[in-house]
Amino acid sequence: MTQIPASKVDFSNPALLKAVYDMGKNYKCNYLIPLAAWQRGLKVEYFGSQDAAGVQHPFMPPQCDEPDFYRISDGSRSHFFNRSLGDATSMEAAVVSKNKAASKMRFRKFGVPTTPAIVWTGDNGAQVQAFVAQASDKTFVLKPIKGSGSKNTYIGIKSNNVISILESLPKTPMLVEIRILGPEFRVYVVGGRVAAAFLKMGIFVVGNGKDSIATLIAAKNALRASHPAIANCQIDLSESENYLASFGVTLAHVPALNRRVMLNTSRNPLLGSEAVNNTATLHPAIARAAIGACAATGLPNAGVDIMADARGPYVLEVNARALIHRHSFPTLGQGTGNAVAEAIVDWYFPTPDGKPAQRHTQFFDSAPLLATFAKDGSAGHYAVPPAVQ
């Protein structure tokens, strides 16, 4: 597997970290990717709407009050982005990647391993029942064929409850998927290469032999408050209490030294799940599946969600506009610097000789950018000043 060049960005610099942190929960892509471009000497401009930038990409929203659009140019050509979604993405690839059922069809067509599934349309109960009956010893995942962030997703549903839950929902197409039990990964692919990967885990605390679970949660929340990726994702005490109660454990319990105590099973990064960088140790079969998923859907860059068991990896879905900051800022271990953003920029703007691009180590302040959009909203326009020579 061809390696993506290592990033040299030092996020331990407090001023740089603040520039990223201040971008907010879902907009850090809009600093990290422009930073990777700006450090190469490329021009970066932010816009509040597509109209203001003179472009029209139907797979991107028309406008936003936040600095959600930006253009990168080298003087002879330019590319337009909405978060990590760039204009090299075709309309077909954008449409397919947004539809989980259509994506699965592509995976199967191109031999990409994926979980067995069927689409519930509201009037095909017999077919769905037959599919479920064939795996009655399994549990299932029910999720909308369109959507993101685990909204309206049901996990671990027993076979005898699948139909009743589907019939209780508004009549909207749902993907009924056999649940795989095993580790889950987010793998980011750029131009047919893995740029970074992390292991998703539910939130947990680690015992020290003297503090209660409640005290350990408070300490972990204090650390999270300053973490650039999960500052807005505090551990909910009542939810943790309910989860622990199902095992007969209370918040007053004192875990033994180094004893890991799970607080929930959600692996959704948007809800603050743990992320462990495993780029260097990613199994080749998982890397191949992620690369294959992007090739099958036609995406030049995307975050690929994969689960694995003893039989191998299974691609769950691809995310054309995936957030990339969890690769830079995992909750456990060292991140990959700005490797994902740099890989995206270098794919869009390859060097003439094919060698790794050279970057300076300066960074730009996000405060003037944010002030512009706080004042002007979707009418905002901000050109990042060139680096000081």
* 3-state SS string for 72-133: EECCCCEEEEECCEECCCCHHHHHHHHEHHHHHHHHHHCCCCECCEEEECCCCHHHHHHHHH
pLDDT score recorded for residue 160? 95
pLDDT score recorded for residue 228? 87
pLDDT score recorded for residue 346? 97
- Report the amino acid identity of residue 188: Y
Point out the domain boundary residue: 263, 284, 300: 263
Domain count, the chain: 2
Question: Is there a domain that residue 247 lies in?
Answer: yes
Handedness of CA 208, 214, 215, 216 (dihedral sign): positive
Question: Is there a domain that residue 69 lies in?
Answer: no
DSSP 225-294: TT-TTTTT-PPPHHHHHHHHHTTT--TT--PPTT-EEE------GGGT-EEEE-TTT--HHHHHHHHHHH
Question: Is there a domain that residue 155 lies in?
Answer: yes
Question: Is there a domain that residue 169 lies in?
Answer: yes
Q: What is the mean pLDDT of each run of 10 residues along the chain (389 residues)?
A: 75 93 87 98 97 95 94 97 98 96 97 96 94 95 83 89 94 93 96 96 95 96 89 89 95 97 83 88 97 98 97 97 94 93 98 92 96 93 93
Q: What is the DSSP letter of 68?
A: -
Q: What is the CATH number of the domain that holds 120?
A: 3.30.1490.20
- β-bridge partners, 37: none
Question: Is there a domain that residue 167 lies in?
Answer: yes
- β-bridge partners, 302: 189
pLDDT score recorded for residue 49? 96
Range of the domain at 124: 116-179
CA dihedral 346, 45, 29, 73 (to 10 degrees): -10
Read off the pLDDT of residues 303-331 as tens digits, 9 standing for 90 and up. 999 999 999 999 999 999 999 999 999 99
Contact 338, 36 (CB under 8 A): yes
Q: Which of 335, 338, 356 is nearest to 346 (CA)?
A: 356
What's the rounded Cα separation, in Å, for the pair 72 and 81? 8
pLDDT score recorded for residue 98? 94
Q: Which of 327, 89, 296, 311 is nearest to 187 (CA)?
A: 327
What's the rounded Cα separation, in Å, for the pair 189 and 293? 9
Whole-model pTM? 0.94
pLDDT score recorded for residue 68? 94
Give me the helix-helix angle, 100-109 and 284-297, nearest 10°.
110
Contact 153, 132 (CB under 8 A): no
Question: Is there a domain that residue 137 lies in?
Answer: yes
Q: Is 175 in the same domain as 125?
A: yes
Point out the domain boundary residue: 163, 179, 195: 179
Give me the helix-helix angle, 91-98 and 284-297, nearest 10°.
120
DSSP 359-379: --S----SHHHHHHHHHHGGG
Handedness of CA 169, 25, 301, 81 (dihedral sign): positive
Q: Which of 367, 346, 370 is nearest to 358 (CA)?
A: 346
Give per-residue burial for 293-326: e unless 16+ CB within 10 Å, then b: bbebbbbbbbbbbbbbeeeebbbbbbbbbbbbbb
